[in-house]
Structure 1
């Protein structure tokens, strides 16, 4: 009997519910950089990731949107598609999904319980245990390879690229979306350093699609692609996008690639940055067609792009007053979101509810928010230790924007109620600053 057959045992479950597991792993919720723990586990179970056809996606901003666009088009063409993303917005099991259906608790626990003896073996041998995110990554790869078996997998990195847990795969295509300053403590203080970390997902001979980033970031990525003999496709060089129409409901645009021109496409996601993400997604899809004989009709591409959706990205869930949820959580993404809102919406007053993580450029983001709002409500994300306390965030906001009204409320639910009580029908309520905040707010607002 082979290694896999003798070692994967389920004589008794170690966990009977996902909550039981989450309670045990919560102290290790932080991200750990390095591949050794994931590689050790995957080796023990036969390296299931080698069976998968993967599109690997890294980047500072736009990973989730680009992932969903690629997935949506492939699904429209009748391919089965697995997606691994983070963090979840709609539900805890959203991280792992196939054709839009989230992994069931039963399947999730089945794979956790199969893996747990190896994790205990790691402890016995003095090997550092996997983090929460690393366990999710291994479960995803097992689930895709051995249970769901989709035609393709869109695999999104969690942090960086070079040492991210997902970087144990050898993909069909490597995609690097927009590069900006974020996670500086782990990835570096300059765009060049961060681009180097993201470019760590580039594999020898594997095509690379790079989004619309600064010249400095592009130069770093292109050099690494050259060193690894990876065919390189760069936004504004090998593919171009141009906006045609934009309104509250959708935007239409043109994309020109090396292989084809799309004279008019539409997406329901708003903002110039989403058109750029669409260009990246389309270039990746073109490579799948040219290099791997994936069959995509033009009408399937059109419909797939139009149906692509990801929650919490300038998502409008209310009108009169407008109520927007946006997961912008760094300088670049917040600047683009605020520019889009001021361009698309007409309102009397903007009321902002915000929470931010400690490892972000809090001062810069608060300063930007102070320029668009008259009333700022700071809050704290529940069960997220990196979340800046609401009163501390309010004190920082007062320093950057002393002329606006600022109040702190430690409960997201109460902060939302406060915003609703203040707003009139002609106002706009904006929830922004963290995907974790958006996840909690969306759950409260959508299910009311």
Structure 2
């Protein structure tokens, strides 16, 4: 293994092993490597939606205060290396190769045991821990891959646990009810370690609360212990206030659109408050204000062009699509919407598109190069909207919609983040 291409090919060679929830394989590998994860100060972030945005808000606030921040996120949007980042920059090709070489013997040895081969995500997680232990960031913001309880990131003992939301996603793995999904997400809550949560559904919140009580973890809930209040909105930004039980009151602005991003920002601010109260980190209120103002996150209602007005957004589940509909009504109430959409096979289109039935919107359903991508015809048949069409070639679909877009219309390309990654690269190249 001599270069980035070979390293990524090696990592991707574990894709066929799929999703195998459980901590035995990651525990085995980290034990062999001397537990690099134990050298890190970690904030562990789980939830259905909002993980990446919350990480981004936190990273920007901590960076404003001069801290060196490591982040572990998924999936990637621009290129593979961004999943593991330090000081806002993706891991370098050289460091990626170095970490792969550091762990390859352990991975090959694991394959020969009764535990069997690790998954791709487990390998990436170990690479991240190896890299972060080497560069020694002041803090690592560690995003859960899937679920929480049996996710390979759940090997850490964090400073804080964060659960951003509970929603209808990955139900084929996490269970068919909000309670079962909440049980899996709550698995990242650790004994005596503060947990920050924003779970709106009472039945899901009770599961989270029960877990926190059981392990004596202090629980800080959005809407009870801290909250936000929208003030005003423009096409490009929104203004809001933040208040918490500690007495902190802030007036803020963000270019991240939609009320859900105000809530994500509030989760991030509460996390900073907890870090400050533990005396681990020193951030002024000005660091918080500037950090929130400067936060952006690619692929999350990101403007690609002004003429025609075009956005890409990674909304791909019921809650994400509802938030997108609310965002459009808030920031672009006078427009007509031209959607191009592609999602994976397990999605329920009737639930996803329920908020759009009465909106001035048209949908072109397409597909993309991915083993779990749903066929355009299936999406079309299941969609409850009236103004709909099919175009199996997503590049053609996007070109047609952009060429047909009028002055009072906008193009929104949404769905799977794997789809958005391809679309974004295609549009920015043009």
Question: Is TM-score (shorter-chain normalized) higher than 0.5?
Answer: yes
**Aligned equivalent of 1:134, options 122, 125, 135:** 122
**Aligned equivalent of 2:168, options 181, 188, 191:** 181
Contact 2:111 2:118 in 1 (8 A): no
Contact 2:3 2:93 in 1 (8 A): no
**Aligned equivalent of 1:330, options 317, 330, 341:** 317
What whole-Å deviation, never above 9, does each CA across 1:369-417 have from its counterpart, x for those lacking one? 45435532222222x21110223222323xx23x3131222x3322211
Which residue is 1:90 aligned to?
78
| Bigger mean CA offset, 82-91 vs 358-367 | 358-367
Which residue is 2:7 aligned to?
18
Aligned pair count reads 430
Q: Would you say 1:413 and 2:399 are equivalent positions?
A: no
**Aligned equivalent of 2:187, options 156, 175, 200:** 200
**Alpha-carbon distance in structure 2 between the residues aligned to 1:191 and 1:57:** 18
Gaps of 5+ in 2: none
Which residue is 1:396 aligned to?
382
Contact 2:304 2:310 in 1 (8 A): yes
Residue 50 of structure 1 and its aligned partner are, at CA, apart by 0.3
**Alpha-carbon distance in structure 2 between the residues aligned to 1:393 and 1:288:** 45
Q: Would you say 1:429 and 2:417 are equivalent positions?
A: no
**Aligned equivalent of 2:46, options 58, 66, 87:** 58
| Bigger mean CA offset, 266-275 vs 124-133 | 124-133
Contact 1:195 1:220 in 2 (8 A): yes
Gaps of 5+ in 1: 1-11
Residue 271 of structure 1 and its aligned partner are, at CA, apart by 0.8
**Alpha-carbon distance in structure 2 between the residues aligned to 1:310 and 1:233:** 25
Residue 263 of structure 1 and its aligned partner are, at CA, apart by 3.2
Which residue is 1:7 aligned to?
none
**Alpha-carbon distance in structure 1 between the residues aligned to 2:329 and 2:255:** 18
Contact 2:365 2:388 in 1 (8 A): no
Residue 268 of structure 1 and its aligned partner are, at CA, apart by 1.1
Q: Would you say 1:226 and 2:226 are equivalent positions?
A: no
Task: Please give the root-mean-square deviation of Cα atoms over the aligned residues, in Å.
Answer: 1.8
Residue 156 of structure 1 and its aligned partner are, at CA, apart by 0.4
Secondary structure of 2:14's partner?
Answer: helix
Residue 16 of structure 1 and its aligned partner are, at CA, apart by 6.2
Q: Would you say 1:109 and 2:97 are equivalent positions?
A: yes
- Name the TM-score, length of structure 2 as normaliser: 0.95
Q: Would you say 1:387 and 2:370 are equivalent positions?
A: no
Secondary structure of 1:292's partner?
Answer: coil
**Alpha-carbon distance in structure 2 between the residues aligned to 1:363 and 1:22:** 36
Contact 2:4 2:93 in 1 (8 A): no
**Aligned equivalent of 2:233, options 246, 259, 269:** 246
Secondary structure of 2:9's partner?
Answer: helix
Alignment of 1:309-328 (within 5 A): 309-328=296-315
Alignment of 1:348-387 (within 5 A): 349-372=336-359, 374-382=361-369, 384-387=370-373
Contact 2:144 2:151 in 1 (8 A): yes
**Alpha-carbon distance in structure 1 between the residues aligned to 2:360 and 2:278:** 49
Which residue is 1:447 aligned to?
429
Secondary structure of 1:167's partner?
Answer: helix
**Alpha-carbon distance in structure 2 between the residues aligned to 1:360 and 1:396:** 10
Secondary structure of 1:328's partner?
Answer: coil
- Name the TM-score, length of structure 1 as normaliser: 0.92
| Bigger mean CA offset, 119-128 vs 366-375 | 366-375
What whole-Å deviation, never above 9, does each CA across 1:255-302 have from its counterpart, x for those lacking one? 111223233111110111111111111111001000133110111111
Change (3 A) 1:199 1:374: closer
Contact 1:15 1:113 in 2 (8 A): no
Q: Would you say 1:77 and 2:79 are equivalent positions?
A: no
Contact 1:373 1:404 in 2 (8 A): no
Which residue is 2:32 aligned to?
44
Contact 1:73 1:305 in 2 (8 A): yes
Secondary structure of 1:158's partner?
Answer: coil
Which residue is 1:156 aligned to?
143
Change (3 A) 1:23 1:159: closer
Which residue is 2:326 aligned to?
339
Residue 346 of structure 1 and its aligned partner are, at CA, apart by 4.5
Change (3 A) 1:79 1:348: closer
**Alpha-carbon distance in structure 2 between the residues aligned to 1:378 and 1:422:** 16
Contact 1:122 1:128 in 2 (8 A): yes
What whole-Å deviation, never above 9, does each CA across 1:231-252 have from its counterpart, x for those lacking one? 1111111111101111221111
Change (3 A) 1:156 1:53: same
Change (3 A) 1:23 1:202: closer
Change (3 A) 1:387 1:324: same
**Alpha-carbon distance in structure 2 between the residues aligned to 1:21 and 1:208:** 36
Which residue is 1:4 aligned to?
none
